[in-house]
Amino acid sequence: MRKYIYVLVAVIVLAGVASVVLKPRTGAQASRKVLGRVAQSAAETPAPQQDTGETPVPPLRAPQRVSVDESRRNGIVAAIERVAPAVVSVNVVQMQAEKVTDPFSRDFWSFFYAPAPRYRLREKQLNSIGSGFIIDSQGHIVTNYHVVEDAEKVASVTLSDGREIEVELVGGDERTDLAVLRAKGANLPYAPMGDSSHVLIGEWAIAIGNPFGVLMKDPHPSVSVGVISANHRRISPAIAKGERLYQDMIQTDAAINPGNSGGPLVNANGEVIGVNTMIFSTSGANVGLGFALPINRVRRVADEIIRYGRRRDPWPGFKVEDITALRRDLRDQLGLRVEEGGIVVNILTSAPAYTAGLRPGDAILRVNGEPIRSSSDVDFAIWDLFVDDPVEIEVDRQGTRHTIKFTIQELAE
318 near 348, Cβ under 8 Å?
Answer: yes
Residue 387 identity (one-letter amino acid): V
Of 308, 338, 353, the position where a domain reaches its end is 308
Query: Are 201 and 298 part of one and the same domain?
Result: yes
Query: Are 278 and 179 part of one and the same domain?
Result: no
> Does residue 176 form part of some domain?
yes
> Does residue 279 form part of some domain?
yes
DSSP state string for 296-346: HHHHHHHHHHHHHSSPPPEE--EEEEEGGGS-HHHHHHHT---SSSEEEEE
Of 127, 159, 183, the position where a domain reaches its end is 183
Beta-carbon contacts of residue 84 (< 8 Å; ≥ 6 apart): 160, 208, 221, 223
Of 159, 183, 207, the position where a domain reaches its end is 183
Query: Are 378 and 328 part of one and the same domain?
Result: yes
Query: Are 299 and 270 part of one and the same domain?
Result: yes
Query: Are 335 and 402 part of one and the same domain?
Result: yes
Query: Are 166 and 248 part of one and the same domain?
Result: no
Q: 378 lies in which domain range?
A: 314-410
Instruction: List 98's β-bridge partners, or say none.
Output: 122
Query: Are 164 and 200 part of one and the same domain?
Result: no
What pLDDT, on a 0 to 100 scale, did the predictor assign at position 196? 97
Query: Are 209 and 303 part of one and the same domain?
Result: yes
> Does residue 69 form part of some domain?
no
> Does residue 76 form part of some domain?
no
Query: Are 245 and 304 part of one and the same domain?
Result: yes
What pLDDT, on a 0 to 100 scale, did the predictor assign at position 122? 56
What pLDDT, on a 0 to 100 scale, did the predictor assign at position 333? 86
What pLDDT, on a 0 to 100 scale, did the predictor assign at position 280? 85
> Does residue 208 form part of some domain?
yes
pTM of the model: 0.74
CA pair distance 47, 342, nearest whole angstrom: 80
Domain count, the chain: 3
> Does residue 46 form part of some domain?
no
Closest CA to 148 of 91, 221, 95: 91
Per-residue pLDDT of the chain (413 residues; tens, 9 = 90+): 554 444 444 444 444 544 444 444 444 455 555 445 545 554 555 555 555 556 666 666 666 666 777 778 889 999 999 999 999 999 888 766 555 555 555 554 454 555 555 555 555 556 678 899 999 999 999 999 999 988 888 888 999 888 999 999 999 999 999 999 999 988 899 999 999 999 999 999 999 998 876 566 677 889 999 999 999 998 877 776 667 889 899 999 999 888 889 999 999 999 999 999 998 876 666 778 999 999 999 999 999 999 999 999 898 899 999 999 888 888 888 888 899 999 999 999 999 999 999 999 999 999 999 999 999 899 889 988 999 999 999 999 998 999 999 999 998 76
> Does residue 73 form part of some domain?
no
Sign of CA dihedral 172, 173, 174, 179: negative
What pLDDT, on a 0 to 100 scale, did the predictor assign at position 274? 97
What is the total residue count of the chain? 413
> Does residue 174 form part of some domain?
yes
CA pair distance 79, 198, nearest whole angstrom: 17
CATH of the domain at 352: 2.30.42.10
169 near 138, Cβ under 8 Å?
Answer: no
Query: Are 322 and 301 part of one and the same domain?
Result: no
Query: Are 338 and 398 part of one and the same domain?
Result: yes
What pLDDT, on a 0 to 100 scale, did the predictor assign at position 355? 94
Query: Are 286 and 319 part of one and the same domain?
Result: no
CATH of the domain at 255: 2.40.10.10
What pLDDT, on a 0 to 100 scale, did the predictor assign at position 291? 95
CA pair distance 413, 293, nearest whole angstrom: 28
Positions marked catalytic:
146, 177, 261
What pLDDT, on a 0 to 100 scale, did the predictor assign at position 317? 92
What pLDDT, on a 0 to 100 scale, did the predictor assign at position 62? 63
b/e sequence 46-83, b meaning 16+ C-beta within 10 Å: eeeeeeeeeeeeeeeeeeeeeeeeeeeeeeeeebbebb
